[in-house]
Amino acid sequence: MSTDHRLSPEHEELRRTVEAFAHDVVAPKIGEFWEQHEFPYEIIREMGRMGLFGLPFPEEYGGMGGDYFTLCLAIEELARVDSSVAVTLEAGVSLGAMPIFRYGTEEQKRRWLPGLCSGESLGAFGLTEPGGGSDAGATRTTARLDEATGEWVINGTKCFITNSGTDITALITVTAVTGRKPDGSPEISTIIVPSGTPGLTVAAPYSKVGWNASDTRELSFSDCRVPADHLLGEKGRGYAQFLQILDEGRIAISAMATGLAQGCVDESVAYAKTREAFGRPIGANQAIQFKIADMEMRAHMARVAWRDAASRLVRGEPFKKEASIAKLYSSEVAVTNAREATQVHGGYGFMNEYPVARMWRDSKILEIGEGTSEVQRMLIARDLGLAG
């Protein structure tokens, strides 16, 4: 099996294009959005016009005809500058649009994917519940089919749902218990709920530690009704579907964590070259040099990890363990690099006007979202045959 992860000319061209966009368009504006907890609609629209939301989807649905590796390249470059913009793309594609592409009917794909691929609309993935957390199988949200009206009737609550309440959110894909299996365990299915559906209440945005320019909310469903044909995939297969979606999404989160880790290196190198203490740049001190060298080493190895997992996915090979390794390693690397970059910047690293302050606050959630570090260790151990 090849382990050569050098970029093709097409991939390198995309990477450079997104890198330039991140530095020329995102970097000058995002600090103000982040400080004011505002969603950067114009930046997201420009990303849509670039085709970033359609990267891994076929052209027949409005996509760019790329693959998951291509998407992750774009996510990493955005995260080198800002994680709020990066997670909006990551969640909009891997959690919002990908379930419809993977499991939707032809009619569902043609109805929803063009808008999602263009960035004119966003999708959200309603999985996590207030009492569930990592135990996604303990879903309490229910959906029953009203035979008289031919509608699903949904009741329950979801929390921490990204992209669920923006002005351009088009749909939320919701996991819900739709019955019981012969052994008494819950039968979980996935249902598409369009934004604005009566019975769906979208709460105010959370007050968060980081990702302040992204949209994250709680959702509640009270006799929320959608047509029967809004079932996504096979009834009772929702649990298996979202496990696959999360496996893929962990690679994208790893790419985002790698971008943040590399962004910490970028900012630290630039600061160390210009900040003087005791008559010379602090970058001339070996203590600072070694600190930044270790940061670069960690970012490099995180990149190797996600590219390996993404390459396996694209080739159709097993990738579950490699995705968990990449997600676990890169998220912890991002937290470490953010802490070290703040130390390199000294007191200025504690000021929000410096990007490393945002990176420090943005990094921690990477060890939690789409599977905590503890869950990743559990999955890796299970793959090694160490059953619990």
Whether 237 contacts 202, CB under 8 Å = no
Residue 2: the pLDDT is 45
Is residue 123 within 8 Å of 196, Cβ to Cβ?
A: no
Q: Token pair 């130390």 is at which residue?
A: 343
Q: Mean pLDDT of residues grouped by 10 in the chain (388 residues)?
A: 71 97 97 95 97 97 96 98 98 96 97 97 94 74 96 97 97 96 91 98 96 97 98 94 93 98 98 95 96 98 98 96 98 98 96 94 95 95 89
Expressed in angstroms, the distance from the first to the final Cα of the chain is 31
Q: Domains in the chain, ordered, with CATH?
A: 9-122 (1.10.540.10), 124-235 (2.40.110.10), 240-383 (1.20.140.10)
DSSP string of 150-165, one letter each residue: TEEEEEEEEEEEETSS
Q: Which residues form the catalytic set?
A: 370
Q: Report the distance separating Cα 74 and Cα 16, nearest Å.
A: 9
Q: What is the dihedral of CA 78, 134, 143, 245, to 10 degrees?
A: 40
Place of tokens 């949209």: 215
Residue 368 makes CB contacts below 8 A (sequence gap 6+) with: none
Would you state the pLDDT for residue 342?
A: 97
Distance CA 109, CA 126 (A): 19
Rg (CA), the chain: 21
Q: Contact 181/187 with Cβ under 8 angstroms?
A: yes
Residue that the structure tokens 């008289």 belong to: 148
Task: Look at residue 131 in the predicted model and tell me its pLDDT.
Answer: 78
Distance CA 108, CA 118 (A): 16
Q: At which residue do the structure tokens 């299996």 appear?
A: 181
Strands 231-232, 186-194: pairing is antiparallel
